[in-house]
């Protein structure tokens, strides 16, 4: 079992996001020997700007479910890299990622060009503390994400599912995971079918996806609205009380901020809301998907 209790908060979030996303040329040039040459084993496009990629990291790579890897490419003779949450379980050989193309971004346009067999850089060490809290005594886990922010949650669930099925390491105690995922349209969820399968089978996992632009997705029959707008409804429906529930917010900065406010007003204490913010919002940015 790869999980470990983590109660540390991720604030100051903006500082951390800046640091993680500004690991660029100068830093990288002065850190030889810290990277593997990874190779793309498989690539699956989900939408015009979302894709799933599985890589062979190129050497031994240890991580815990919820951590991130640092991927990069050579760009105009220099190295450019960013953090990406690992989707796969530590039980799997390949590392899997769910990536969104940011057309104005520095790295993702280069990552987007890579196909099966191509190489990229992968830092040898996994990082991050966004792991499942199995020690605090709170047995409910409310997982809230926008689009690619589902990545660490898939890693939690794949790991727990495998333990649960094998019977080697059954679900510890009465822990239960409740997952909400927001996206603009349903084809952006990436892992909906997989998560619905777990949710139909495992009594300890629930999953609800919601789309925020149903008018662009007329076949969608599920929940609508931004994921933070659904928080109160599902916390109530699932009977989640602050003192028994750790919350995990992952993805778009505006969702994280809104959801944190909602949870804190509903009684969640600061150190029971974990956050993984993927980027700092551009000044002209909108609230984004979900």
Ligand X SMILES: Cc1cc2nc3c(=O)[nH]c(=O)nc-3n(C[C@H](O)[C@H](O)[C@H](O)COP(=O)(O)OP(=O)(O)OC[C@H]3O[C@@H](n4cnc5c(N)ncnc54)[C@H](O)[C@@H]3O)c2cc1C
Q: Which is nearer to ligand X, 132 or 171 (CB)?
A: 132
How near is the Cβ of 63 to ligand X at its closest, in Å? 13
The closest residue (CB) to ligand X is: 105
Write out the two tokens for 221.
């029959």
Q: Which is nearer to ligand X, 80 or 240 (CB)?
A: 80
CB 67 within 8 A of CB 128: yes
Quick one: CA torsion of 70, 128, 148, 5, rounded to 10 degrees?
150
Q: Which is nearer to ligand X, 234 or 278 (CB)?
A: 278
Please report the DSSP string for 65-101 in residue order.
TT-EEEEEEEETTEEEEEEEE--S-TTSSSEEEEEE-
CB 65 within 8 A of CB 132: yes
Reported in sequence order, the residue ranges of 86-237 that DSSP labels E, i.e. its strands, are 95-100, 119-123, 140-146, 176-183, 205-211, 223-224
Strand partners, 209: 181
How near is the Cβ of 251 to ligand X at its closest, in Å? 8
Pairing of strands 245-251, 273-277: parallel
Q: How far is CA 14 from the centre of its chain?
A: 17
Q: Which is nearer to ligand X, 207 or 278 (CB)?
A: 278
How near is the Cβ of 110 to ligand X at its closest, in Å? 8
Write out the two tokens for 237.
């429906």
How near is the Cβ of 191 to ligand X at its closest, in Å? 12
Q: Which is nearer to ligand X, 3 or 84 (CB)?
A: 84
How near is the Cβ of 71 to ligand X at its closest, in Å? 9
Quote the radius of gyration of the chain (alpha carbons, Å): 18
How near is the Cβ of 244 to ligand X at its closest, in Å? 27
Q: How far is CA 16 from the centre of its chain?
A: 16
Largest alpha-carbon pair distance within the chain?
A: 54
How near is the Cβ of 276 to ligand X at its closest, in Å? 5
Q: Which is nearer to ligand X, 86 or 235 (CB)?
A: 86
| Residue 137 DSSP SS3 | coil
Residues engaged in binding ligand X (CB under 6 A): 17, 20-21, 68, 82-85, 97-100, 102, 104-108, 128, 148, 151, 276, 278-282, 285
Q: Which is nearer to ligand X, 20 or 231 (CB)?
A: 20
């Amino acid at each position: 079992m790869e999980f470990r209790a983590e109660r540390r908060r991720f604030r100051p979030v903006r500082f951390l996001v800046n640091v993680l996303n500004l690991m660029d040329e100068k830093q990288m040039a002065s850190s030889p020997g810290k990277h593997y040459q990874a190779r793309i084993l498989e690539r699956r496009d989900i939408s015009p700007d979302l894709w799933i990629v599985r890589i062979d990291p190129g050497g031994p790579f240890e991580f815990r479910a919820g951590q991130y890897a640092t991927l990069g490419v050579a760009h105009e003779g220099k190295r450019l890299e960013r953090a990406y949450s690992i989707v796969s379980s530590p039980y799997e050989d390949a590392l899997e990622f769910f990536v969104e193309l940011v057309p104005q971004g520095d790295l993702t346009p280069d990552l987007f060009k890579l196909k099966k067999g191509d190489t990229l850089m992968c830092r040898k060490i996994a990082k991050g503390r966004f792991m499942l809290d199995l020690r605090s005594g709170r047995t409910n886990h409310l997982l809230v994400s926008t689009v690619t922010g589902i990545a660490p949650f898939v890693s939690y669930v794949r790991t727990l599912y495998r333990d649960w099925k094998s019977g080697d390491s059954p679900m510890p105690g009465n822990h239960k995971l409740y997952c909400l995922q927001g996206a603009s349209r349903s084809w952006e969820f990436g892992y909906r079918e997989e998560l619905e399968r777990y949710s139909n089978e495992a009594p300890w996992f629930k999953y609800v996806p919601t789309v925020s632009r149903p008018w662009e997705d007329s076949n969608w029959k599920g929940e609508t609205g931004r994921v933070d707008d659904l928080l109160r409804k599902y916390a109530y429906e699932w009977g989640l009380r602050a003192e028994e529930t750790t919350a995990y917010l992952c993805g778009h900065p505006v969702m994280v901020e809104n959801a944190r406010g909602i949870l804190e007003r509903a009684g969640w204490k600061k150190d029971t809301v974990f956050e993984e913010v993927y980027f700092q919002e551009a000044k002209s940015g909108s609230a984004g998907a979900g």
